[in-house]
Structure 1
Amino acid sequence: MDKNRVIIFDTTLRDGEQSPGASMNLEEKLKIAKVLEDMGVDVIEAGFPIASNGDFEAVNEIAKTVTNATIAGLARATKADIERCAEAIKPAARGRIHTFISTSPLHMKYKLQMEPEKVLAKVVESVSYARNFTDDVEWSAEDGSRTEHDFLCRCVEAAIKAGARTINIPDTVGYAVPDEYAALIRMLFNRVPNIDQAIISVHCHNDLGLAVANSLAAVQAGARQVECTINGLGERAGNAAMEEIVMALRTRADHIPYTTGIKTEHITKASRLVSTVTGFVVQPNKAIVGANAFAHESGIHQDGMLKNAQTYEIMTPESVGLTRSTLVMGKHSGRAAFKSKLKELGYELGENAIEDAFVRFKDLADRKKDVFDEDIVALVDDEVLRSNDRIRFVSLEVVCGSKHRPPRATLELEVDGETKQCESTGDGPVDATFNCIKELVPHNARLQLYQVHAVTQGTDAQAEVTVRLEEDGKTVNGQGADTDTLVASARAYVTALNKLLVKREKTAPQALSA
């Protein structure tokens, strides 16, 4: 392997899905996996097979579908976990078992309730057992950044000797700072005698906002695999954002002379897809993929941009797959033009899906004066990703206003193929709409978040609504888009309910990793 090549290990489908509300169904995971493969991601961590039948199926199907990337599954240091993981990745052209155990004094004492020597024995036992199923075994020292150096060196040496070819040193709780973390990686290179037989990997969380900085510092210290997620998705404050790491390496090659195999022009598409699937809206000022990342309002900045874009842009929008077209589609646009636009935006859809999306596009164009790329992205994502949902939105009519008290909603849904209709009132039009949904699909979920933002500018802009529901400790997010905010709200709530049906099947193990 090229000594300056950094392996990109994407864990959006595993660690990213551990974010409260970020549950994904099989179809959604397959779509994201395909986008990751097209991007050139080296390793896709597809899930935690022992967690549930749904997780096992997702890893197994991705292993059957993806051919260019290595497919990894996560396993605790137990034979049952490892066997389940091995079975899930079995169809993969290249499969990896990623096994882990905590090594910090805090975790060993309170989480594992095990003595260090027993942990060390578990490291050897788990890696050796995993090697019975594949030559590609990765071992992680959970809470590695808070592990005593002597013990960490012993564990790393033992894991490599047992057959691990990738050693991951996670900053599990986002506690490290860049110079300290880089020193930790250098220490391992200096003290572990067989370190040259493995690739050193890093997996950084963002609790102090340092995940990307720590990852890059580790690369400079010798790490050659970075574990990351699209949009920085992940539990608590998230993981290191893949798009930031990749673009930092590309933009500052003069200072960080390392390369990846990522086709950066796919970044925006991947970011939008993950946002739509999970319901996690990307903040406007997010680096690389935020709505304002290439926007300039200051007069001084605009003047500089007009003279030379490099005055205020250190990378081009096109380099991350962002198009800058304004009005290019309208109500007179035909199927051929619409199909061409979808291809330009990175969508490869079947004829039936294109026809369904085209019908919604024409409806949108009749209601909206200017149709922007962002409108089409919101429309297509909302339509295509919901194709296999058990609950589908059909129609909504609301009567409200100062002269109509209380507001009244009439809603029609399709539930498991059966059309159902109801009428309900509420404190406001949104409340009335949601009461209708509760009547048609009875549930005890609690509304945690209701958020609206405009996809584009103008009073006729599509509203994109995010709804978060919580039931028995399980949290899900749903998104919906429409020029009618109430319709978008109904779509978002229905999407969240569909995700809740998936989430009910998941019973994650107690010990989740890094």
Structure 2
Amino acid sequence: MTPVSTAASERDRVIIFDTTMRDGEQSPGASMSLEEKLELAKILEDMRVDVIEAGFPIASNGDFEAVRQISEIVTESVVCGLARAGVQDIERCAEAIRKAKRGRIHTFLSTSPSHRDHILRASQDDILEMITGSVTHARNLCGDVEWSAQDATRTEQDFLRRCVEAAIRAGATTINIPDTVGYTYPSEYAEVFRDLIENVPGADTVIFSTHCHNDLGLAVANSLSGVQAGARQVECAINGIGERAGNAALEEIVMALKVRGDRLPYHTGIETQHITRASRYVSAITGFPVQFNKAIVGKNAFAHESGIHQDGMLKDRGTYEIMQPEDVGQGASNLVMGKHAGRAGFREKLKELGYELGQNALNEAFQRFKDLADKKKHVFDDDIVALVDDALASQADKIQVKHLRVIAGTEGPQEAFLTVTIEGAEKSANATGDGPVDAVFNAIHEVYPHAATLRLFQVHAVTEGTDAQAQVSVRLEEDGRIATGQAADTDTLTASAKAYVNALNNLVARKEKTAPARMVSGF
């Protein structure tokens, strides 16, 4: 077998650019706190993501601080900030990434007729002048500059060539061709890249990148077509989150390249066993559940219920699985643990599920597991994930639920009796409501008055059966700030109370630490 040369290997390497914290956070309600972004940055670096787009520094003081602090803690990945074509945007971005070991300014400008006429009100010559000026200014402040043509796939191809040439001449090192509105289809998108790479002077000196939205469900297919046509960077997000229908899903891009190397002879540096951990963390902090049948990371992605499928799996896993669940950190199977399981076995199970807990956190999680095992006949992997995430989320909470009793039934009004601790001091209240959940939330408002509005209340069962844990997501909004909380418990009302209180804690923390965000358009 002839070894592949280092040069050829590098030509076939695809850079993974994660935009979960920037484009992903632009999903309505997906706002993340500074602490959550710092933890996510560590997870992405553990996964060996090449470029982490940490935020939009000009958008708010909170976004600036997130990019700045991530720049200080990340040592291997490139830390990138987004900037519009204006001087203030670019300089604010440069300041945010100033301490990064490897920093990048990502600046963009609309190029399509629709955006030129209705948003920028600028001519083609105006656009070319702005590209040259913005990229030149960014390059004077940072050696690594990416330029994006917003709405590139609806831009006249001859004008797009001129825009890309201007960006390259001004010093851009990466050229991104976004399908901003999810409009293109694979063969069409591939042809755009082939044309630019073949016909634009200097195209061989830069890296071309894809950035595909999923409005027609084609984001992953389009991204892979771009790679086949010469792009060597893919911009994507964990769980595919992003504006409108979302972005190309990182986990799907990476595993498609890994599994289908026969037709896609390219590779990434991603350590795929961290994928499920990242997916679950993003789901937890945004409150966006992962659909059960989601490719790669969905609860049912490696589940087999059909008797024919189960028979095939018992004979050879390859009959119905094209990849191993262990490859993406899903665990070999959904193993059951009971109340007789020991601490050592529980610790190993946590490692298998992607958790490394300190001794105190392990002790608390193990006790919660034992309590759950006393209530449930079988404790599944998903149960353990839910209880550990719940424990980690509530550790630093200022307000904690201590006791809850609810009177419900056909004869109203429903009533909730609640006791919480607020910074260690107990406070109790009882309240009625239009249903037991409403009564619980009214009681929380009694013990901790606030002006937040409930924007989301969502319940789903972690596992099957009448003894399944309920996982509740709550989203609150106050003065433009949005915070999400989650909790799990075999008692749905207890989980609801804890989730609401968790969201309230996150909202309080956000009010104390961040300034109100300004709405800024992205692509």
TM-score, normalized by length of structure 1?
0.94
Give the deviation of 1:163 after TM superposition: 1.2
2:58 to 30, 50, 73: 50
1:331 aligns with 2:325: no
1:270 to 273, 278, 299: 278
- Output aligned runs, 1:268-347, within 5 Å: 268-327=276-335, 329-347=337-355
Equivalent pairs, count: 513
Alpha carbons 2:26, 2:242 under 8 Å: kept? yes
Q: SS of the residue aligned with 1:370?
A: coil
1:433 aligns with 2:432: no
Q: SS of the residue aligned with 1:481?
A: strand
1:486 aligns with 2:486: no
* Correspondence for 2:413: 406
Alignment-mate amino acid for residue 270 of structure 1 = A
2:431 to 418, 421, 424: 424
Once residues 80 and 387 of structure 1 are traced to their aligned partners in structure 2, the CA distance between those partners, rounded to angstroms, is 39
Alpha carbons 1:409, 1:423 under 8 Å: kept? yes
Give the deviation of 1:378 after TM superposition: 1.0
> How big is each residue's C-alpha offset from its partner over 1:121-161, in whole Å with a ceiling of 9 and x where there is no partner?
22111111112222111111111111111221111111111
Once residues 312 and 329 of structure 1 are traced to their aligned partners in structure 2, the CA distance between those partners, rounded to angstroms, is 26
- Output aligned runs, 1:216-231, within 5 Å: 216-231=224-239
Q: SS of the residue aligned with 2:141?
A: coil
1:114 aligns with 2:153: no
Judging changes above 3 Å, is the alpha-carbon distance between structure 1 residues 119 and 227 closer, same or farther for their aligned structure 2 residues?
A: same
RMSD across aligned positions (CA): 2.1
* Correspondence for 1:467: 474
- Output aligned runs, 1:205-284, within 5 Å: 205-284=213-292
Alignment-mate amino acid for residue 512 of structure 1 = S
Once residues 87 and 166 of structure 2 are traced to their aligned partners in structure 1, the CA distance between those partners, rounded to angstroms, is 18
Alpha carbons 1:20, 1:474 under 8 Å: kept? no
* Correspondence for 2:169: 161
Once residues 108 and 508 of structure 1 are traced to their aligned partners in structure 2, the CA distance between those partners, rounded to angstroms, is 26
1:363 to 371, 396, 402: 371
Judging changes above 3 Å, is the alpha-carbon distance between structure 1 residues 331 and 39 closer, same or farther for their aligned structure 2 residues?
A: same
Alpha carbons 1:51, 1:506 under 8 Å: kept? no
Gaps of 5+ in 2: 1-6
Q: SS of the residue aligned with 2:181?
A: coil
- The percentage of aligned residue pairs carrying the same residue is 65
Alignment-mate amino acid for residue 229 of structure 2 = A
Alpha carbons 2:258, 2:267 under 8 Å: kept? yes
* Correspondence for 2:72: 64
Give the deviation of 1:292 after TM superposition: 1.3
Give the deviation of 1:431 after TM superposition: 0.9
Alpha carbons 1:82, 1:130 under 8 Å: kept? yes
> How big is each residue's C-alpha offset from its partner over 1:377-413, in whole Å with a ceiling of 9 and x where there is no partner?
111112213434444333322122346x322112233
Alpha carbons 2:34, 2:66 under 8 Å: kept? yes
1:194 aligns with 2:202: yes
Once residues 5 and 343 of structure 1 are traced to their aligned partners in structure 2, the CA distance between those partners, rounded to angstroms, is 30
Alpha carbons 2:59, 2:519 under 8 Å: kept? no
Judging changes above 3 Å, is the alpha-carbon distance between structure 1 residues 187 and 369 closer, same or farther for their aligned structure 2 residues?
A: same
> How big is each residue's C-alpha offset from its partner over 1:65-116, in whole Å with a ceiling of 9 and x where there is no partner?
1111111111111222122211211221111111111111111221122222
Higher relative contact order (CA 8 A, sep 6+): 1
Once residues 19 and 94 of structure 2 are traced to their aligned partners in structure 1, the CA distance between those partners, rounded to angstroms, is 18
> How big is each residue's C-alpha offset from its partner over 1:7-50, in whole Å with a ceiling of 9 and x where there is no partner?
00001111111111111112211121111111111001111111
Judging changes above 3 Å, is the alpha-carbon distance between structure 1 residues 390 and 153 closer, same or farther for their aligned structure 2 residues?
A: farther
> How big is each residue's C-alpha offset from its partner over 1:355-380, in whole Å with a ceiling of 9 and x where there is no partner?
33233223222322222221111111
Judging changes above 3 Å, is the alpha-carbon distance between structure 1 residues 104 and 9 closer, same or farther for their aligned structure 2 residues?
A: same
Q: SS of the residue aligned with 1:466?
A: strand
Judging changes above 3 Å, is the alpha-carbon distance between structure 1 residues 237 and 474 closer, same or farther for their aligned structure 2 residues?
A: farther
Once residues 55 and 388 of structure 1 are traced to their aligned partners in structure 2, the CA distance between those partners, rounded to angstroms, is 22
Give the deviation of 1:499 after TM superposition: 4.2
* Correspondence for 1:496: 503
Judging changes above 3 Å, is the alpha-carbon distance between structure 1 residues 353 and 113 closer, same or farther for their aligned structure 2 residues?
A: farther
Judging changes above 3 Å, is the alpha-carbon distance between structure 1 residues 42 and 260 closer, same or farther for their aligned structure 2 residues?
A: same
Judging changes above 3 Å, is the alpha-carbon distance between structure 1 residues 387 and 95 closer, same or farther for their aligned structure 2 residues?
A: farther
Q: Which segment is superposed worse, 19-28 or 392-401?
A: 392-401
Give the deviation of 1:234 after TM superposition: 0.8
Q: SS of the residue aligned with 1:449?
A: strand
Give the deviation of 1:289 after TM superposition: 1.0
Gaps of 5+ in 1: none
TM-score, normalized by length of structure 2?
0.93
Alignment-mate amino acid for residue 233 of structure 2 = Q
> How big is each residue's C-alpha offset from its partner over 1:152-182, in whole Å with a ceiling of 9 and x where there is no partner?
1111111111111011111111111111111
Give the deviation of 1:508 after TM superposition: 4.2
Once residues 394 and 125 of structure 2 are traced to their aligned partners in structure 1, the CA distance between those partners, rounded to angstroms, is 50
Judging changes above 3 Å, is the alpha-carbon distance between structure 1 residues 326 and 242 closer, same or farther for their aligned structure 2 residues?
A: closer
Q: Which segment is superposed worse, 2-11 or 288-297?
A: 288-297
Once residues 394 and 133 of structure 1 are traced to their aligned partners in structure 2, the CA distance between those partners, rounded to angstroms, is 53
Alignment-mate amino acid for residue 249 of structure 1 = L
* Correspondence for 2:382: 374
Give the deviation of 1:437 after TM superposition: 2.0
Once residues 428 and 133 of structure 2 are traced to their aligned partners in structure 1, the CA distance between those partners, rounded to angstroms, is 58
Give the deviation of 1:308 after TM superposition: 2.4
Alpha carbons 2:62, 2:517 under 8 Å: kept? no
Alignment-mate amino acid for residue 217 of structure 2 = G
Q: Which segment is superposed worse, 78-87 or 98-107?
A: 78-87
Give the deviation of 1:470 after TM superposition: 4.5
Judging changes above 3 Å, is the alpha-carbon distance between structure 1 residues 120 and 416 closer, same or farther for their aligned structure 2 residues?
A: farther
Give the deviation of 1:417 after TM superposition: 5.7
Alpha carbons 1:407, 1:432 under 8 Å: kept? yes
Give the deviation of 1:253 after TM superposition: 0.7
Once residues 332 and 249 of structure 1 are traced to their aligned partners in structure 2, the CA distance between those partners, rounded to angstroms, is 42
Q: SS of the residue aligned with 2:11?
A: coil
* Correspondence for 1:34: 42
